[in-house]
Amino acid sequence: MTEPKVFPPLTIPETLAAGPGPGNTDARVLAAFANAGLADHMQADVLRGMIESKLMLRSLWGTRNIHTYGVGGTGFSGLDVMLNAILPGDKVVAFVNGTFSGIDGLTIRMKAATREELAASPMDPRPASVTIVTIPHGQSIGAETIDRALAEQKPKWAFMAHWETGSGRINDIRAFSDACLKHGAMGLVDAVSSLGIADFAIDDYPGVVGWASCPQKGVLCLPLTYAPVSFADRYIDEIRKTGCASYVHHPILEARHWGVIDGKDVPAPAYHRTHSGYAVAAFHEALRLTLIHGLAQKARDYAFHEKALSAAVTAMGCTVTSNMTSLVVLNLPPSLAGREKELVQNCRAVGFGIWPTLSEPVQVRIGILNQITRPAITGIVTRFGAALADMGAEIDMAGVLAGLDRHYQAAMAAE
């Protein structure tokens, strides 16, 4: 007999999550998680919390879609529910401009593949019915590209990421929605990075019938909770006709536990699977905090602080290629080119959690989720500048910080 292997209790340090996500969860959300009592998934207050969360999610997302709720898990869990509408042989056009839309494209290819196509290349199928339109890393997907592809293909489904976190680019969701309407496609959108940061309302985009987001970016609720999804009636009607090859990730069945049955809000939810009262309490608190801050104000705050960070790293000699407001994607100064991963490792080793890009080309990503204050941005700028200097870059830190001061002073003067 070998001794059972028991490890000491796990300690995880608090780091500064200054990447694309997750963001540091608000202490009030963590408290809601830890202070919830143990109650089963059909207990009245757990169910009330789910129904209230559903209603708050509709406010946050600006939609009257009845099928708006959370999917237990991460962003890809919500995306899986949304993409489950795609059946083998379905005609799809997917626009890809970075890591995450690339993975979504893979999911789409797996779901749209026939049995033969899947068996021919099980991990990376290339179904004839799917067109992947690839836009170079660092560029946004624009109206002309979208319109041309949908006009040519006339697909049943079209897919795009709203904000592509891999390259830090915002894609043209207005053009996407319009082109879907014009060419008779049903639009599906990965809104993992934009929900809770961009000031937009689902109901302004009638060409998009499915939306999927995540818990840990703009909504700031990492204690593994719920990936928000929202589906228009057109999407739900389609699933009712075609069916869907999943019980747990079924867009209609999953909604029952949130009190959506037969297309209507009902006061008494039905069991779908076991939900955690802790997760419900945390998710509820995260939604409350976001709505209290106000989406429009939050969007302005992100834009303002991202501008400050972007100007500061530019003053250090970096080149910013992103246009998202929660994330700066940059090339290092020419003297440090090629040493991106080393720099990121150095930063991460001291609890400053920045990221490289996950697909080519290698760039550095610095995020500001939940760091939208002057001291927080100043801290990030100081740590990043020090890391560059440690690797031999000549940084005029006093000049960089003076520039940062001017950004904030000008804002204060304008108020």
Ligand X SMILES: *Cc1c(COP(=O)(O)O)cnc(C)c1O
Spatial distance between the Cα atoms of 320 and 311, rounded to a whole number of angstroms = 9
| Pattern 123-162, ligand X, x by CB under 6 A | --------------------------------------x-
Cβ distance to ligand X smaller for residue 65 or 165: 165
Q: Does 85 bind ligand X (CB under 6 A)?
A: no
Q: Does 21 bind ligand X (CB under 6 A)?
A: yes
Minimum distance between the CB of residue 410 and ligand X, rounded to whole angstroms?
31
Minimum distance between the CB of residue 203 and ligand X, rounded to whole angstroms?
21
Among 25, 63, 65, 74, binds ligand X (CB under 6 A): 74
Cβ distance to ligand X smaller for residue 75 or 223: 75
Minimum distance between the CB of residue 158 and ligand X, rounded to whole angstroms?
16
Cβ distance to ligand X smaller for residue 75 or 317: 75
Tokens 């680019």 sit at which residue? 169
Cβ distance to ligand X smaller for residue 74 or 145: 74
Among 165, 171, 230, 331, binds ligand X (CB under 6 A): 165
Q: Which residue is nearest to ligand X (CB)?
A: 75
The CA distances from residue 352 to 211, 220, 268, in Å, are 32, 18, 46
Quick one: angle between helices 277-293 and 295-315, nearest 10?
Answer: 80
How many positions of this chain bind ligand X (CB under 6 A)?
12
Cβ distance to ligand X smaller for residue 24 or 165: 165
Cβ distance to ligand X smaller for residue 212 or 244: 212
Tokens 């709203």 sit at which residue? 162
Minimum distance between the CB of residue 29 and ligand X, rounded to whole angstroms?
16
Q: Does 193 bind ligand X (CB under 6 A)?
A: yes
Q: Does 357 bind ligand X (CB under 6 A)?
A: no
Cβ distance to ligand X smaller for residue 23 or 127: 23
SS (H, E, C) the chain: CCCCCCCCCCCCCCCECCCCCCCCCCHHHHHHHHHCCCCCCCCHHHHHHHHHHHHHHHHHHCCCCCEEEEEECCHHHHHHHHHCCCCCCCCEEEEECCHHHHHHHHHHHHHHCCHHHHHHCCCCCCCCCEEEEECCCCCCCCHHHHHHHHHHHCCCEEEEECEECCCCEECCHHHHHHHHHHHCCEEEEECCCCCCCCCCCHHHCCCEEEEECCCCCCCCCCCCCEEEEEECHHHHHHHHHHCCCCCCCCCCCHHHHHCEECCEECCCCCCCCCCCHHHHHHHHHHHHHHHHHCHHHHHHHHHHHHHHHHHHHHHCCCEECCCCCCEEEEECCHHHCCCHHHHHHHHHHCCECCEECCCCCCCEEEECCCCCCHHHHHHHHHHHHHHHHHCCCCCCHHHHHHHHHHHHHHHHHHC
Per CB under 6 A, the segment of 28-36, 146-154, 188-196, 354-362 that binds ligand X is 188-196
Q: Does 75 bind ligand X (CB under 6 A)?
A: yes
Minimum distance between the CB of residue 120 and ligand X, rounded to whole angstroms?
27
Minimum distance between the CB of residue 409 and ligand X, rounded to whole angstroms?
33
Among 81, 214, 347, 393, binds ligand X (CB under 6 A): 214
Q: Does 325 bind ligand X (CB under 6 A)?
A: no
Q: Does 96 bind ligand X (CB under 6 A)?
A: no
Q: Does 100 bind ligand X (CB under 6 A)?
A: yes
Q: Does 221 bind ligand X (CB under 6 A)?
A: no
Per CB under 6 A, the segment of 9-17, 74-82, 136-144, 394-402 that binds ligand X is 74-82
List interacting residues with ligand X (CB under 6 A): 21, 74-76, 100, 161, 164-165, 190, 192-193, 214
